[in-house]
Chains A and B, each alone.
Chain A
Amino acid sequence: MQFGIFSVGDVTMDPTTGRTPTEHERIKAMVAIAVKAEEVGLDVFATGEHHNPPFVPSSPTTLLGYIAAKTERLTLSTATTLITTNDPVKIAEDFAMLQHLADGRVDLMLGRGNTGPVYPWFGQDIREGIPLAVENYALLHRLWREDVVDWEGRFRTPLQGFTATPRPLNGVPPFVWHGSIRSPEIAEQAAYYGDGFFANNIFWPKEHFIRLITLYRQRYAHYGHGTPEQAIVGLGGQVFMRKNSQDAVREFRPYFDNAPVYGHGPSLEEFTEETPLTVGSPQQVIDRTLTFRESFGDYQRQLFLMDHAGLPLKTVLEQLDILGEEVVPVLRREFAANRPAGVPDGPVHTTRDRLTA
């Protein structure tokens, strides 16, 4: 099982100091956070993709390429790569290039993006979100697997005798996760291809994600990729920890209360009750995270959101120390202890031949 972090890349004022980092500071902070993730023994760093303020990561493979040069083991991923507004040809090229530079330590998570105005900025229409995701990925899937592609579709110019370069490292395409917050069509798409399915599992009640993952697992088996238990599932999570849970709550509350996504709404207590957000001691985080297996079945990748809502870099790095030293070792042990035989590990480049076979 793989553990890691994912970042939205938001530039948010620290509500306790009133200071907003510059874009430059935030971008450098994302690099520092990724490097730290490897240092504390995590497996994955994933970046979001956004094309509007207050977010900085508009060019994920540039960021990940730079991080690749500063790390040795960390798998570099995305959360998410926009399959709707990016040209699938450019995705094929960018991630194959990154795969070579990072010696295979690359996978990616595809998502649609939910910001209406972004679509027309890239010549698309949000109302076509699902068809764009379906057609663009169908093309991307072929570009990584067929050396010469003839193709015609609704959303981009046709291709005649096109070869996406470089070819994927060792002929093995990057592993693909499909991320969705609400669309069963995307769970169906992931199942059809035998790809992974990632439920962000933050901000919303778990019942919602259980429905999507159950559907994905059933359809994964339906399409003959294995049993439902063998489907490749990733989950998000959101935590803030201190040695004493009261200290964690006291320190995180101003960030929670002012967070762009859920601030000025329910109380921290209500939100932790309703959603997987956990604010407390490392043990509380361990206990809560272990319940995910009961809800969703044994899964392959757990990513935590650690660096949003204006938390300063120093705090985020401290959080990663706690995560790496006190939480993840226990989670690895516990998840491994009761893991049924036949449940696959998280995908890495060297095991991908087996997974795609």
Chain B
Amino acid sequence: MKLVVVTAGLTQPSSTRLLADRLTEATVRRLADRPAEAAMGRLGDRPTEAAEAAEAAEAAEAAEAAEGRLGDRLADAIVQRPGDRAAGWSDEGAPEVRVIELRDLAVDIANNFVTGFPGARLREAIEAVTEADGLIAVTPVFSASYSGLFKSFFDVMDPASLVGKPTLIAATGGTPRHSLVLEHALRPLFAYLRAMVMPTAVYAASEDWGGGGDDFADGLAERIDRAATELADLLRNRTPASATEAEVVPFEQQLAALRR
């Protein structure tokens, strides 16, 4: 399973990248520790199978804990290592994680607008997103919307490349007053691209990094976990995406379509 993270933060360190990492980590953790719970939920349907799955998952978890390497592997998984599967994880469990920093591709993206094609580095990033089973997309808020760089990356992608893709959207900003950018800018963008956007979108204002929730909303940690759980649940129940070559319509069919 491939999880791709697109982050449009510009500074180093970047709070956008930090939020992206938190979301990734939470998603990877939920993917790893939820099979038991998820299976329990289906106990009524298929008791034996579910119980076996729960048992197997518990055993696996116990083994991981015994080795004391769970944390290491989570850390491994979120390191940017294209094509390198973290050792020991099965396809059903932890995903292969790829983080794409749009800052590194800023000039390539601009060049794509000018030339009409992506250079090698950008092409590779676009392919990674297109082939991903799940996407986490995080942008800073600029001028009451996603950043231009963030939008530009999705502008140069094929509009069909995100169709049906489980996607978690998130944004960072200096003030909580911009939080609805997620609903007024990011969600429509990904709705247009027909991605499957998680109900929970995560906004992190500066103050969120130091505070908890209040009477009206959960704190950042809870919101991250809720969004990650939604994404993990959806990813676990989906068949992994496979690259499909567009097939050409035979010419007789093209002609026949005109004669209808």
Contacts and interface: CB of A to CB of B under 8 A. Distances in A.
Contacts of B116: 203-204
Nearest to B253: A188
Contacts of B254: 130-131, 134, 185, 188-189
Contact of B248 (A185, A203, A205, A261): A185
Contacts, number: 58
Interface of A: 130-131, 134-135, 138, 153-154, 184-185, 187-189, 191-192, 203-205, 208, 215, 219, 261-266, 270-271, 274
A265 B252 CA distance: 41
B111 A265 contact: yes
Interface residues of B, number: 19
30 contacts: A131-B257, A134-B251, A134-B254, A134-B255, A135-B255, A135-B258, A138-B255, A153-B258, A154-B258, A184-B246, A185-B248, A185-B249, A188-B251, A188-B254, A191-B251, A192-B252, A203-B116, A203-B117, A204-B116, A205-B117, A208-B117, A215-B248, A219-B248, A262-B114, A265-B115, A266-B111, A266-B119, A270-B111, A271-B115, A274-B120
Contacts of A274: 117, 119-120
A278 to B, nearest CB: 17
Contacts of B250: 188
Contacts of B257: 131
Contact of B117 (A153, A192, A204): A204
A135 B251 CA distance: 11
Interface of B: 110-111, 113-117, 119-120, 246, 248-252, 254-255, 257-258
Contacts of B115: 203, 261-262, 265-266, 271
A340 B172 CA distance: 62
A71 to B, nearest CB: 34
Given A131-B254, A205-B117, 12 more contacts: A130-B254, A134-B254, A134-B258, A188-B254, A189-B251, A191-B251, A208-B117, A265-B110, A265-B111, A270-B111, A271-B115, A274-B117
